Chains A and B, each alone.
Chain A
Amino acid sequence: MVTSIGKSIQRKDAWEKVTGFAQYTDDFPTTGVLCARLLTSPYGHARILKIDTAKASAVKGVKSILTGDDFKELHGPLLLDRPALAQNVVRYAGEPVALVVAQEESVAERAVRLIEVEYEPLPVLLTPSESLSQGAVLIHEKVTGYKRMLTDIYPEEGTNIASRYHIQKGNAAEALKKCEYIVQKQFSLPPSDHLAMEVRTARAEISSDGQVQIMTSSQSPYAVRQQISGAFMIPAGQIQVTVPFIGGGFGGKSAVMLEILAFLASKSVGGKAVRLIITREQDMAAPPSRIGLEADITIGADKDGKIQAAQMIFRLDCGAYTDISPYMAKAIAADCTGPYHMEHVLCDSLCVYTNHTYATAYRSFAHESYTFCMERVIDLLAKRCGWDPLEFRYRNAIHAGSTTPTQVPYTESLIGDLRKCLSRARQLSLWDAGSRTAIKQNTVKAKGIACFWKTENPPTDAISGATVTFNTDGSVNLVTGVVEMGSNGQTHLAQILAEKLGIPCEKVHVVLSVDTRAAPEHWKTVASLTEYMAGKAVLRAADDLLQQLRSNGSQVFGCPISDIEVSHGRVYSIRNPERFIEFKDIAQGYQAPDGTSIGEPVLGRGGMMLKGLSMLDPQTGKGKTGPAWTLGAQVVEVEADITTFSYRILSALTVMDVGKVINPESMRSMVAGGMAMGMSMASREAASYDSQGVPQAPTLRTYKLMHIGQEPDYQVDFVETPQDDSPYGMRSYAEHGLIAIPAALGNALSNAFGIEEVTLPLTPENIWKASQKEKP
């Protein structure tokens, strides 16, 4: 019976959000709450000679002022390399240097401006290449001295390399020698920002008996608990982290940063409640942003247009601190080929420190960056081979008999069907009608295609859980540790539960906020793994619930459990279905007409731990980092003025193999949202720095996002190749609409303007520059 799966069920948070009643972290009352503000570094790299807080301390209403000298703890999810406040040295412009706690915001802000800091500028390193060059200054003096939180982080002594991952499958060097066609390209992509609508913020309070309460705009409440517990030796049970709605995360709120500062701020004023707020401008420079990436790729095909081998070096610009970046370097390595059959692969993926704002996950976990490079060379290789770019991809698509770069054998369930996606994309984009057409003098329409795939890189032991309780009307409450940040995971979980219980989705009430004391731990709301991980936990909780309902039913009806059926919100015996009991009458135990109590109250719980994942083999990269892959094809069409190098994006198409479409409208809009984000990032966004590492566009006046009115037409279509071990066969999909959009746009523009060296962001100026270089 289908009650929910496959239906466009409205978001559980829809009404609260459209009416404006939804409350975000800093919307809660501020009465009696002190305010903390940050002083951040104006230098990209400098020694701190002196911090004078005398004038700031003298401001009436200032409660405390903290600097890096007040602590020695270091933080980070993988490598403990980051102080909460800069200690002796600042490594990026925007790094927190001091924190003021005051009676109110204006006082804190005034005091911040009165803190005097003396800096001695140090040489800045602004690209991974610079950081890796001979004699480059070391951004961290002893990178091997930092504590590693997981075993597969490999900092290299005496360098700026925080970690490195190596893939060796077959013999790429030999295979390339035999190739008929070779493409060799270098890329250098700038970092950019997440720019969630809600600026990051956190609150903390410490009770007199040492209970720590944190409320934060975070995708990772359990990581907040773990990191604060670990760093400050507080038993985890004494820490309670709550997350109300969050106004967009995109990975940027998966890092733990302001929570630590808010905790320290509260501690410095005897545990009083403190809200740490930052400005939009600080939000763009101080907390982590998106990575930059350099790549050198050599790829070869035989005379039949079959890709034989690829050699790749990726240098990921992680900025001043690692946060989760080593795992992004690993993610790039694990998926480096894209969804293609390649027998010979050699890849080195390095995570390199620079003096940029440090980086963290950004929607699709670095896949958007390496995919841009890879899909550009695939397009160029198709051209060299004389193949249509779509046909070339079809020909080389990963298929049965292939293995991934980490040598996981292809199965349909595990990876999906690229050829189906490409066929569908060919049809829907009217690909065969021509990929470049002149429409008037100096104006052409051109299309570009790119493919993507992505698996996840969670810790191999990541967990999730769900609990389900009944209300007296027979409806249920679903509690998970999943944060609602727009990706609609909560509603999908409700659908999964409703389907399993055989009740309408309206009868599933979802607890939308997360409280680490109340909700079972969910690793982090990242990697699009909500439906897979929490979904599995929900199914197990539902099984548990059904089992208890059957037990109650068997006692009421006096028949074996195996005879009891549960559906349509009713419990009955298959031998006599006319006699049934509604959930509301049996879920809390059953009371017979004579008053006898029968059975027990029903409480469902389910948990899941990821299984079958492994660390990558350091020599070959062999291993499995994530549960499965999701792949797809994307086409972008532009209208380009070939004299002025300006262009308009006309349409964009995504065909994605999502396994199972459990909510067509919600999934369509999530994919279109990813496409829009990718389009904006690819066409205009870059964190630009001057030669001293100072951000040049640190405000929304100059850092432009794509606005309403400039959006192209978005078309989304799905292929359904079920992932066998996932709830209802559904694959991770929430981030993926973004991944190949930059590449598809790049390919369309390369096609339109007839130039090869397109780079991000794809601004008319960058295209013009490339055309100047490539002028015959």
Chain B
Amino acid sequence: MIPFDFVYCRPDTLNEVTDTFKRYQNENKKAICYGGGSEIITMCRVSSIHPDVVVDIKNIPECRVLEKDNFFLNIGAACTLNQIKESKLFPLLGLACGRIADHTNQCRITLGGNLCGTIIYRETSLPLLLSDAEVTTSGLDGIRRVPFQNIFDGRVRLKEGEWIVQVHIPVWALQARHAHIKKTTQEKIDYPLVNVTAIWKDDVLRTAFSGICSRPFRSSQIEAVLNDHGLSPEIRAEKAAELLPEPPYHDVEGSSEYRAFVFRNTLCELLEAWQNDRA
């Protein structure tokens, strides 16, 4: 159970959210956004966070959007992983959503929650990093729309009181060729040892990773190597592993050395499939 009391708010408009944040900021109280709640419950149970206020954003129409216009697929932050998966509007993001937690939790966890949570893997960020996605945020200074990569360096970087309202994925990416390979320790439903997510744009491979390092990332250096057709898949995978932005992550699910081994294998698998297709 959560052994402390907190205030629960459920605003109906973006402005009300801002007002709420302002009000509690003035009272020196910690307010956080509440989407699906799975992580808030976990973290409060084990005493990792002690919010004074949770602001439920599920009643705000902008946060529930899931529709395509001529240029973008717009997804509200309060859409659940399962809604995104079942909509089939962005198959690659659907694949990512379908491998986070189990079905019951996929029906609760929201896109915003997965991106902004404290659990380090944030696997829904990978398709966004690869597709030149943008985000609309709302904050104390109003609303802004920026490239996703500008506010994401492995975790979401926003100003105090600012939060994600929607993400926008350019239509070219929706049906682009893609791959999603997630390797876990042993159990299918688990955090990734290595998640390799890929999109091809004009036969150029873009890749983003989770699990292999302490934060999800996309690396232009790695992409340059992976697109070097003069080298064999093994060599490219080997070189990519040398270009990781930090040493491979190490925890109870897998050692650094083993993650590196899995990383190379997974890249090999990806590149060999690509090479076979091109041949």
List residues of chain A with CB under 8 Å of any chain B CB.
105-107, 109-110, 113, 279, 281, 643-644, 646, 683-684, 688, 696-697, 701-702, 704-707, 709-710, 763-765, 768-769
Complex Cα distance, B187 from A769, in Å, reads 19
Q: Is B214 an interface residue (CB 8 A)?
A: no
Determine whether the beta carbon of B1 is less than 8 Å from that of A684.
no
B254–A710 contact, CB under 8 A?
no
B185 at the interface (CB under 8 A from A): yes
Question: Min CB distance, B82 to chain A, in Å?
Answer: 17
A-B contacts, 22 of them at CB < 8 A, read: A105-B1, A106-B2, A109-B3, A110-B3, A110-B4, A113-B3, A279-B45, A646-B183, A683-B186, A684-B186, A696-B251, A696-B252, A697-B252, A701-B42, A704-B186, A705-B187, A707-B188, A710-B187, A765-B254, A765-B255, A765-B258, A769-B258
Check if A707 sits within 8 Å of B189, measured CB to CB.
yes
Does B12 sit at the interface, judged by CB under 8 A?
A: no
Chain A: CB-nearest residue to B261: A768
Tell whether B265 is near chain A: CB-to-CB under 8 Å.
yes
Instruction: Tell which of B42, B47, B183, B265 touches A113, judged by Cβ atoms closer than 8 Å.
Output: B47
Q: In angstroms, how far is the closest chain B Cβ from the Cβ of A117?
A: 15
CB <8 Å contact, A707 and B187? yes
Is there a chain A Cβ closer than 8 Å to B132's Cβ? Answer: no
Chain B, residues 237-257, CB within 8 Å of chain A (1/0): the string is 000000000000001111100
Verify if B262 is at the interface (C-beta below 8 Å from A).
yes
B62 within 8 A of A: no
Report how far A765 CA is from B183 CA in the complex, Å.
Answer: 12
Bound-state Cα–Cα, A709 to B255, Å: 27
Docked CA distance A764–B42 (Å): 29
Whether A106 contacts B1 in the complex (CB less than 8 A), given A704-B185, A707-B189, comes out as: yes
Contact status B190-A704, CB under 8 Å = yes
Is the C-beta of B46 less than 8 angstroms from some C-beta in chain A? Answer: yes
Count A-B pairs with CB separation below 8 Å: 55
Contact B3 A763 (CB under 8 A): no
Extra inter-chain contacts (4) besides given A105-B3, A684-B185, CB under 8 Å = A644-B262, A683-B186, A702-B191, A705-B187
Cα A697 to Cα B252 with chains together (Å): 7
Chain A contacts of B265 at CB under 8 A? Answer: 643-644
Residues of B within 8 A of A109 (CB): 1, 3
- Measured between beta carbons, the chain A residues less than 8 angstroms from B183 are 646
* Chain A, residue nearest B259 (CB): A765
Query: How near does chain A come to B3, taking the closest CB pair, in angstroms?
Result: 3
Contact A765 B1 (CB under 8 A): no
Instruction: Output the least CB separation between A652 and chain B (Å).
Output: 16
CA distance in complex: A281, B46 (Å): 9
**Chain A nearest CB: distance from B70 CB in Å?**
41
What CA separation (Å) do A113 and B2 show in the bound complex? Answer: 12
Chain B 164-204 near chain A by CB (<8 Å), digits 1 or 0:
00000000000000000001011111110000000000000
Look across to chain B and name the residue whose beta carbon is closest to the beta carbon of A109: B3
Q: Which residue of A lies closest to B190 (CB)?
A: A704
How many Å lie between the Cα of A137 and that of B183 in the bound state? Answer: 42
**In the complex, what's the smallest C-beta–C-beta distance from B38 to chain A, in angstroms?**
11
A281-B46, A768-B258 known; A763 and B185 CB under 8 Å? yes
- Chain A: which residue is nearest B47 at the CB level? A113
Closest to B187 in A: A704
For B42, the chain A residues whose CB sits under 8 A away are 701
- Name the residue of chain B whose CB is nearest to the CB of A647: B186
- Whether A710 and B188, one on each chain, are in contact in the complex, defined by CB atoms closer than 8 angstroms, is yes
The 5 closest A-B pairs by CB, nearest first: A109-B3, A704-B187, A696-B252, A106-B3, A765-B258
Q: Which residues on the A side are within 8 Å of B185 (C-beta)?
A: 684, 704, 763-765
B186, B188, B189: which contacts A763 (Cβ < 8 A)? Answer: B186
Q: Is the CB of A684 within 8 A of B187?
A: yes
A65 to chain B, nearest CB (A): 16
A768 and B254 alpha carbons, distance in the complex (Å): 12
Cα distance A701–B43 in the bound complex, in angstroms = 12
Q: Give the most central of A109, A113, A683, A688: most B CB within 10 Å.
A: A109
Q: Which residues of B contact A113 (CB under 8 A)?
A: 3, 47
Please, what's the 1-or-0 string for B69-100, where 1 marks a CB less than 8 Å from any CB in chain A? Answer: 00000000000000000000000000000000
Interface string of B39-50 (1 = CB under 8 A from A): 000100111000
Tell me the smallest distance from the CB of B41 to a CB of chain A, in Å.
12
Bound: A113/B1 CA distance, A: 13
B3 touches A702 (CB 8 A): no
Q: Shortest Cβ distance from B189 into chain A, in angstroms?
A: 6
Q: How far is the CA of A683 from the CA of B254 in the complex (A)?
A: 14
**Cα separation A319 to B25 with both chains bound (whole Å):** 49
B2 to chain A: which residues have CB within 8 Å? 106
List A contacts of B262 (CB < 8 A). 644
Contact yes or no, A702 B187, CB < 8 A? no
A interface footprint on B1-43 (CB within 8 Å = 1, 0 otherwise)? 1111000000000000000000000000000000000000010
Give the shortest distance, in Å, between A733 (CB) and chain B (any CB): 29
- Chain B residues with Cβ under 8 A from A704's Cβ? 185-187, 190
User: How far is B255's CA from A109's CA once the two chains are assembled, in angstroms?
Assistant: 35
For A110, give the chain B residue with the smallest CB separation.
B3
Which residues from chain A contact B3 at a C-beta distance below 8 Å?
A: 105-107, 109-110, 113
